[in-house]
């Protein structure tokens, strides 16, 4: 079975541009999580969804960040406008349920110049 | 709030040496505990887990025991290989926190031939 799929794998953009990261969870998984990894802050949860509904977005840094899950097989994380401090690796993870083991995608490495 | 503390890296070992990476946690409830591994340029892979006190998780020669009395979940391997070189993350998932993963800062392991 395919694992969690993320696209793009790498993104380089200029400050002020809109960035959209995409995630396809494992088929049948009901929970989806977005994490960010930086040297300074390590791995931190941004937001998670259960059955396509956002449950906890307290980790979203600010209004420039938004996430959607229009259906069970697709989620987006959007940054508008992007800033250099948003440079990081963004991971998507999915699980069978909110309290089940999470499986991670390969990540999107974002560089904002 | 809940937190995870890992021993600082990098850890450098010779092939076939014994490995221990210390991990301690603080949680308000009864968390599940995990070790994830991240190989260079890749996403996080679940290495092993334990869901209750005294459980031992094991995989690929690695093992860790959930010690409630010492709030620890130390990772061990009897004989490391060069291919074990990676960053190892200890994490907890607490139902009181909605099941989200809280990660330690990661420990980089480098195994020399």
Question: Using omega within 30 degrees of 0 as the cis cutoff, is the peptide bond preceding B103 cis?
Answer: no
Contact indicator for B24, B107 with CB cutoff of 8 Å: no
Say whether residue A25 is in contact with chain B using an 8 A CB cutoff: no
The tokens describing B42, both together, are 């890749």
pLDDT band at A84 (very low <50, low <70, confident <90, very high): very high
Neighbours of B60 (CB within 10 A): 12
Secondary structure of residue B29 in the 3-state scheme:
coil
Q: Which of A49-63, A68-82, A98-112, B90-104 has the highest mean pLDDT?
A: A68-82
Residue A61 has pLDDT above 90, yes or no: no
CA distance A22 to A3: 14
Give, rounded to a whole angstrom, the gap between the first and last alpha carbons of chain B.
Answer: 41
pLDDT (mean) for A30-36: 95
Q: Which of A37-41, A101-105, B22-26 shows the highest mean pLDDT?
A: B22-26
pLDDT at A97: 84
Distance from the first to the final alpha carbon of chain A: 36
Per-residue confidence (pLDDT) for residue A18, from 0 to 100: 97
Query: Residue B69 CA to chain centroid, in angstroms?
Result: 18
The pLDDT value given to residue B94: 83
Q: For the segment A66-83, what is each residue's pLDDT rounded down to a tens digit?
A: 999 999 999 999 999 999
Chain B residues with CB under 8 Å of A102 CB are 46, 93, 101
Q: Residue B104: which of B15, B18, B37 has the closest Cα?
A: B37
The values of phi and psi at residue A71, to 5°, are -155, 175
- The pLDDT, as a whole number, for residue B13 is 97
Interchain proximity A91–B101, CB inside 8 Å:
no
DSSP class of residue A9 equals S
Question: In the structure encoding, which two tokens stand for residue A34, read together?
Answer: 């977005």
pLDDT of residue A1: 63
For A15, the 3-state DSSP assignment is: coil
Q: Which of A45, A91, A95 sits opposite B44 (nearest CB)?
A: A91
Contact (CB, 8 A) for B90 and B35: yes
Of A43, A98, A105, the CB nearest to B103: A43
Q: What percent of chain A has pLDDT over 70?
A: 99
CB contacts < 8 A (A, B): 52
Q: For every one of its 113 residues, what pLDDT tens digit does chain B have, with 9 covering 90 and above?
A: 889 999 888 999 999 999 999 999 999 888 999 999 999 888 899 999 999 999 999 999 999 999 999 999 999 999 999 999 999 999 999 877 777 889 999 999 999 99
């Amino acid at each position: 079975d395919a694992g969690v799929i993320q696209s793009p794998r790498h993104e380089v953009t200029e400050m002020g541009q809109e960035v959209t990261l995409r995630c396809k969870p494992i088929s049948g998984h009901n929970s989806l999580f977005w994490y960010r990894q930086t040297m300074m802050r390590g791995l931190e949860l941004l937001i998670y969804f259960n059955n396509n509904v956002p449950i906890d977005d307290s980790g979203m840094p600010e209004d420039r960040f938004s996430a959607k899950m229009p259906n069970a097989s697709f989620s987006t994380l959007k940054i508008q406008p992007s800033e250099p401090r948003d440079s990081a690796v963004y991971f998507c993870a999915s699980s069978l349920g909110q309290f089940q083991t999470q499986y991670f995608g390969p990540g999107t490495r974002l560089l904002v110049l | 709030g809940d937190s995870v503390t890992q021993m600082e890296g990098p850890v450098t070992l010779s092939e076939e040496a014994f490995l221990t990476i210390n991990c301690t946690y603080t949680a308000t409830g009864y968390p599940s505990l995990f070790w994830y591994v991240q190989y260079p340029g890749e996403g996080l892979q679940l290495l092993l887990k334990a869901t209750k006190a005294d459980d031992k998780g094991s995989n690929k020669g690695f093992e860790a025991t959930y010690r409630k009395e010492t709030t620890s979940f130390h990772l061990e391997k009897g004989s490391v290989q060069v291919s074990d070189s990676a960053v190892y993350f200890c994490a907890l998932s607490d139902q009181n926190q909605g099941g989200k993963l809280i990660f330690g800062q990661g420990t980089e392991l480098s195994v020399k031939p």
